[in-house]
């Protein structure tokens, strides 16, 4: 292995650490300092504001729905992509990644064009059957599903490829039904991959901003989510509340990263 | 950990798979049907609606959008800043990945954790986080808000993990034998780095760069509070699309969005090719 001379390796180490510290580390610390500048006053103000607590609840509800749907869809999609042969499989596997590089604003616009109640392709029909999608929770759940779509699939696909299907075939040949094989062999094998996928999707879902801003209508106390309330509080000069809610969201996202990094090494022992 | 967020090998569905695959049975055909229906309702039909809406006015819809000076300024700013930030990421990301894989020091695990923060953090919060250090009441005395530097800063923040996380696993799996062989055959350190290590990581760097470029051109949330979205100066394409939507001009919004979609698709295709190359080397 190439060993760099000491000064060079020290320089690289310093440059890397300094770059990350100035770009991420210090700003995060500065946010915490700003939040607790007046002690707990900011947190208290935010937590006693019904708009904020409602927004936190909306975010939790929408995210849980979206993550549940994405988990089922993600595992199903991964199984189809890895274990089955059908025309268009490669195209589908490339398209699944598309949401990662589409702007959230474009995602919001796309859903708006199809599902809005007046001029949308499907919106008026759905509304005449009593299902309001846009400016309502179904649309918000869809937008969140869209942005977090590839995360579970991407985690499960490589694990499925790695374990192969020997055990599944053995189970089948011993007379297990397809459902039994899935429940007793396949799902336990991909368990950890699914868990990472869920944690990552949850982090992504809680933080979605652009797509939800368009699809939710941003109605305070109704469809406003936590990230949207941060923007509103900040621009309406309730900056201490904006910092408090942001601090909470940062705390949650750091927690998610810790969970993923603690879980990750177990993968090698289970698979 | 390294592949937690952006595993570069996760897309390699087309790669040689161990084990035979089954053709569709009754149950899985139903599964395929349900998955495809949901995928179409959620992704394909809405994206098709954008293209259809933009195409409603024919070619001159696109031409009008592109020749609108404000939109053109937004496109130039977005593409320019994204290229700049991608360049920074290629250098810094590779450097950080190298340090994380080859160096040992106290706090390395912390550095590894912090890299993932931009990926997990809500984008609007990312903007606020940067504002608290580089904004009006900056403890450093640096205020970049409402300038083009704020766009660079925000994009560098949100795209930080991409190159690091694609290069890191490739560097970790690089065979030490090859480097030792090169050295034992008399290659100098620089020669080994240039002729052995660099060619092995270049596809991964390129894949990371593509991901970071795609993310940068589509970024919205982190810029809202930070850049001020001043027309002709700090307004990016996503903000421009949103202001068309809010102004009720869905055709122009769709035209601009179609252009962004085209770029996203091009990046996906480029990535697909790159991933195959990475997979072949691995």
Residues 60-79 of B with CB under 8 A from A: none
Tokens of A137: 């929770």
Q: Quick one: average pLDDT of A226-240?
A: 91
Specify the residue for token string 């180490």. Answer: A13
Compare CB distances from B264 to A93, A102, A113 and report the shortest one's residue. A102
**By the CB < 8 Å criterion, does B187 face chain A?**
no
pTM of the shown model: 0.88
What is residue B17's predicted lDDT score, i.e. its pLDDT?
44
- Binned at pLDDT 50, 70 and 90, residue A162 comes out as confident
Quote the pLDDT of residue B278: 65
CA distance B215 to chain A (A): 6
Nearest to B4 among A73, A86, A264 (CB): A264
Lowest average pLDDT, out of A120-129, A206-215, B22-31, B259-268, goes to B22-31
Identify all chain A residues contacting B46, using CB atoms and an 8 Å cutoff: 107, 110-111, 113-115, 146
Work out the end-to-end distance of chain A between its first and last CA atoms, rounded to an integer number of angstroms. Answer: 29
For residue A207, the chain B residue with the least C-alpha distance is B122
**Chain B residue with minimum CA distance to A145:** B42
8 Å CB contact of B214 and A213 = no
Helices (H), chain B: 3-6, 26-39, 45-55, 59-67, 69-102, 108-120, 123-134, 148-173, 176-184, 189-192, 198-217, 221-224, 237-246, 250-281
Cα–Cα distance between B254 and A195 in angstroms, integer? 36
Residue B139 contacts A where some CB pair is shorter than 8 Å: yes
- Closest C-alpha among A27, A60, A53 to residue A241: A53
User: Rounded distance, CA B157 to CA B161, Å?
Assistant: 9
CA B155/CA B126 separation, integer angstroms: 10
pLDDT value at A249 more than 90? yes
Quick one: pLDDT band at residue A259, thresholds 50, 70, 90? confident
Per-residue confidence at B14, pLDDT binned at 50, 70, 90? Answer: very low
Q: Is the pLDDT of residue B15 over 60?
A: no
Q: Render pLDDT for A39-92 as a digit per residue (tens, 0 to 9).
A: 888 888 888 899 999 999 999 999 999 999 999 999 999 988 888 888 888 888
Contacts of B278 (CB under 8 A, 6+ apart): B8, B9, B12, B170, B203, B204, B207
Q: Residue B1's pLDDT is what?
A: 36
List of chain A residues whose C-beta atoms are within 8 Å of the C-beta of residue B132: 27, 30-31, 33-34, 243
Q: Which of A27, A109, A231 sits opposite B254 (nearest CB)?
A: A109
Chain A contacts of B13, Cβ < 8 Å? 81-82, 89-90, 93, 157, 161
Domain range annotation of chain A = 39-268
Q: Give the pLDDT band (50/70/90) at residue B129.
A: very high
Alpha-carbon distances of A138 from A133, A134, B106, rounded to whole Å: 5, 7, 48
Q: Does the pLDDT value for residue A266 go beyond 70?
A: no
Query: Which contacts of B57-64 are long-range, i.e. CB under 8 A and separated by 24 or more positions?
Result: B57/B251, B57/B255, B61/B251, B61/B252, B61/B255, B62/B255, B62/B258, B62/B259, B64/B252, B64/B255
pLDDT in tens, B187-241: 888 888 888 888 888 888 988 998 899 999 999 999 998 988 888 889 999 999 9
Across chain A, mean pLDDT equals: 88
Which residue of B24, B157, B257 is in closest CB contact with A106?
Answer: B257
Give the tokens for residue B156: 């560098």
Kindly state the average pLDDT of the residues B92-113: 91
What is the CATH code of the structural domain delimited by A39-268?
A: 1.10.3720.10
Q: Does A85 sit within 8 Å of B121, measured CB to CB?
A: no
Closest Cα in chain B to A236:
B225
What is residue A185's predicted lDDT score, i.e. its pLDDT?
85
Query: What is the distance in angstroms between the Cα of A128 and the nearest Cα belonging to chain B?
Result: 18
Confidence of residue B18 (pLDDT cuts 50, 70, 90): very low
Average pLDDT over residues A13-41: 92
Task: Mark yes or no for CB contact A97/B18 under 8 Å.
Answer: no
- A2: pLDDT strictly greater than 70: yes
pLDDT, mean of residues B270-281:
72
Termini Cα distance of chain B = 19
Q: Which of B50, B182, B1 is nearest to A199 (CA)?
A: B1
More confident residue, A61 or A162: A61
Q: Is the pLDDT of residue A203 over 70?
A: yes
Residue B243: pLDDT above 80?
A: yes
Q: Tell me if chain A has a CB within 8 Å of the CB of B183.
A: yes
Name the closest residue on chain A to residue B113, using Cα atoms: A257
Identify the CATH number of the domain defined by range B58-281: 1.10.3720.10
- The answer on pLDDT for A20 being more than 90 is yes
Residue whose structure tokens are 């589509």: B218
Nearest beta carbon to residue B35 from set A77, A112, A258: A77
Nearest to B118 by CA among B221, B12, B269, B238: B221
**b (16+ CB within 10 A) / e for A187-222:** eebbebbbbbbbbbbbbbbbbbbbbbbbbbebeeee
Q: What residue ranges of chain B are covered by domains with CATH 1.10.3720.10?
A: 58-281
Is residue B242 within 8 Å of residue A214, measured between CB atoms? yes
Does the beta-carbon distance from A209 to B122 stay under 8 Å?
A: yes
Query: Which chain A residues are Cβ-neighbours of B192 within 8 angstroms?
Result: 2
Measured distance CA(A186)–CA(A170) in Å, rounded = 12
Among B residues 2-41, those touching chain A with beta carbons less than 8 Å apart: 4-5, 7, 9-15, 17-25, 27-28, 31-32, 34-36, 38-39
B184 to chain A: nearest residue by CA?
A1
Higher pLDDT, A221 or B92: B92
pLDDT band with cut points at 50, 70 and 90 for residue A198: very high
Rounded to the nearest angstrom, the minimum Cα separation between B256 and chain A is 9
Which pLDDT belongs to residue B281? 56
Taking CB atoms and an 8 Å cut-off, how many pairs form between chains A and B? 326
Mean pLDDT of A94-108: 88
């Amino acid at each position: 292995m190439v060993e760099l001379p000491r000064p060079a390796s020290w320089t690289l180490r310093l440059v890397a650490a300094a770059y990350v510290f100035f770009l991420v580390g210090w700003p995060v610390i500065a946010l915490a300092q700003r939040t607790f500048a007046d002690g707990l006053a900011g947190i208290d103000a935010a937590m006693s504001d019904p708009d904020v607590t409602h927004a936190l609840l909306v975010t939790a509800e929408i995210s849980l729905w979206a993550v549940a749907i994405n988990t089922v869809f993600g595992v199903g999609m991964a199984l189809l992509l890895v274990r089955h042969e059908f025309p268009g499989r490669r195209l589908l596997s490339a398209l699944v990644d598309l949401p990662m590089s589409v702007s959230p604003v474009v995602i919001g616009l796309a859903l708006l064009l199809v599902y809005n109640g007046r001029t949308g392709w499907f919106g008026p029909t759905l509304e005449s059957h009593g299902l309001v999608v846009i400016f309502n929770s179904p649309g918000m759940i869809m937008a969140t599903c869209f942005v977090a779509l590839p995360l579970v699939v991407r985690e499960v696909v490589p694990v499925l490829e790695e374990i192969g299907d020997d055990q599944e075939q053995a189970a089948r040949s011993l007379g297990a039904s397809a459902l039994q094989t899935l429940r007793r062999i396949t799902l336990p094998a991909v368990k950890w991959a699914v868990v990472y996928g869920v944690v990552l999707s949850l982090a992504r879902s809680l933080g979605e901003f652009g797509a939800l801003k368009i699809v939710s209508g941003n109605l305070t106390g109704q469809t406003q989510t936590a990230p949207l309330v941060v923007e509103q509080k900040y621009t309406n000069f309730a900056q201490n509340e904006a910092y408090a809610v942001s601090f909470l969201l940062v705390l949650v996202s750091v927690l998610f990263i810790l969970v993923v990094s603690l879980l990750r090494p177990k993968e090698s022992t289970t698979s | 950990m390294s592949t937690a967020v952006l595993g570069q090998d996760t897309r390699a569905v087309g790669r040689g798979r161990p084990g035979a695959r089954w053709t569709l049975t009754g149950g899985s055909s139903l599964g395929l049907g349900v998955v495809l229906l949901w995928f179409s309702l959620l992704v394909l039909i809405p994206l098709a609606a954008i293209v259809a809406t933009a195409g409603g006015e024919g070619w001159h819809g696109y031409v009008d959008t592109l020749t609108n000076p404000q939109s053109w300024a937004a496109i130039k700013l977005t593409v320019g800043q994204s290229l700049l930030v991608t360049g920074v990421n290629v250098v810094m990301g590779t450097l950080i990945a190298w340090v994380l894989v080859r160096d040992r020091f106290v706090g390395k695990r912390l550095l590894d954790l912090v890299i993932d923060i931009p990926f997990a953090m809500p984008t609007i919060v990312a903007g606020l986080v940067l504002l608290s250090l580089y904004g009006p009441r900056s403890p450093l005395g640096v205020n970049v808000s409402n300038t083009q530097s704020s766009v660079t800063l925000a994009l560098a923040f949100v795209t930080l993990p991409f190159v690091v996380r694609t290069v890191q696993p490739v560097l970790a799996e690089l065979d030490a034998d090859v480097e030792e062989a090169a050295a034992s055959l008399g290659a100098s350190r620089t020669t080994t780095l240039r002729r052995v290590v660099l060619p092995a990581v270049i596809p991964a760097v390129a894949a990371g760069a593509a991901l970071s470029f795609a993310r940068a051109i589509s970024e919205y949330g982190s810029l809202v509070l930070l850049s001020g979205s001043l027309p002709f100066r700090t307004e990016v394409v996503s903000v421009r699309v949103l202001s068309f939507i809010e102004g009720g001009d869905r055709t122009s919004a769709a035209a601009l969005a179609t252009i962004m979609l085209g770029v996203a698709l091009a990046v996906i295709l480029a990535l697909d090719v790159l991933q195959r190359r990475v997979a072949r080397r691995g």
